[in-house]
Amino acid sequence: MSSILLDTNVLVYALDVRQAFFQEKAKTIILKAEETATGCLSVQCLAEFFRVATAKMQLPASEMIKQVEYWQNAFPVFPLTPQIVLEAARGVRDYQLSYYDAQIWACARLNQIPIIFTEDFQDGQTLEGIRFVNPFADKFAIEEW
């Protein structure tokens, strides 16, 4: 089973009680990624999660700190490095990605993670060996991963 980078939207949906369907899917994905030791995160995803959870969803910062701590212990977390910044810049230049989407792609590419679970890219798209899978798409089946 391949390693999978979980994008911010997967983490956010796991706590979004306003969207029960997405919340259940996200929780299932995270649990399976943890149980199978296939999930990993970028430090960018943890930072974006904290910001969205506290600013947009208005969840308590103290609880979200605990959630970030849990995820950093449950999954390998890749740091943001100068190489990732440069690779992301190349993704912007060569593929017209938004910078932060390019940074997620660059993190996966440079850390040899072949799959990103995200809703921010075209489902099934592959870019230099990195495949984007929308785990919230109707055709997605967790059993296949």
Classify residue 73 by burial, with Cβ atoms within 10 Å: 0-12, 13-18, 19+: exposed
Q: Mapping DSSP to helix (H, G, I), strand (E, B) and coil, where does residue 128 land?
A: coil
pLDDT in tens, the chain (145 residues): 689 999 999 999 999 999 999 999 999 999 999 999 999 999 999 999 999 999 999 999 999 999 999 999 999 999 999 999 999 999 999 999 999 999 999 999 999 999 999 998 888 889 999 999 999 998 888 777 7
* Other CB atoms within 10 A of residue 33 CB: 25
The answer to the question of residue 49 being in a domain is yes
Whether residue 124 contacts residue 131, with contact meaning beta carbons closer than 8 Å, is answered with yes
If one counts the domains in the chain, the total is 1
Residue-number span of the structural domain to which 86 is assigned: 4-138
The answer to the question of residue 145 being in a domain is no
Nearest to 6 by CA among 37, 36, 42, 51: 42
Whether residue 12 contacts residue 25, with contact meaning beta carbons closer than 8 Å, is answered with no
Q: Which amino acid is at 124?
A: G
The answer to the question of residue 46 being in a domain is yes
The answer to the question of residue 78 being in a domain is yes
- CATH classification of the domain holding 59: 3.40.50.1010
Nearest to 54 by CA among 11, 20, 19: 11
* pLDDT given for residue 9 in this prediction: 96
Return the exposure string of 41-64: e unless at least 16 CB atoms fall within 10 Å of the residue's CB, then b.
bbebbbebbbebbbeeeebeeeeb
pTM of the entire predicted model:
0.93
* pLDDT given for residue 1 in this prediction: 62
Longest distance between any two alpha carbons in the chain, whole Å: 40
Which helix or strand (DSSP H or E) is residue 40 part of? Answer: strand 39-42
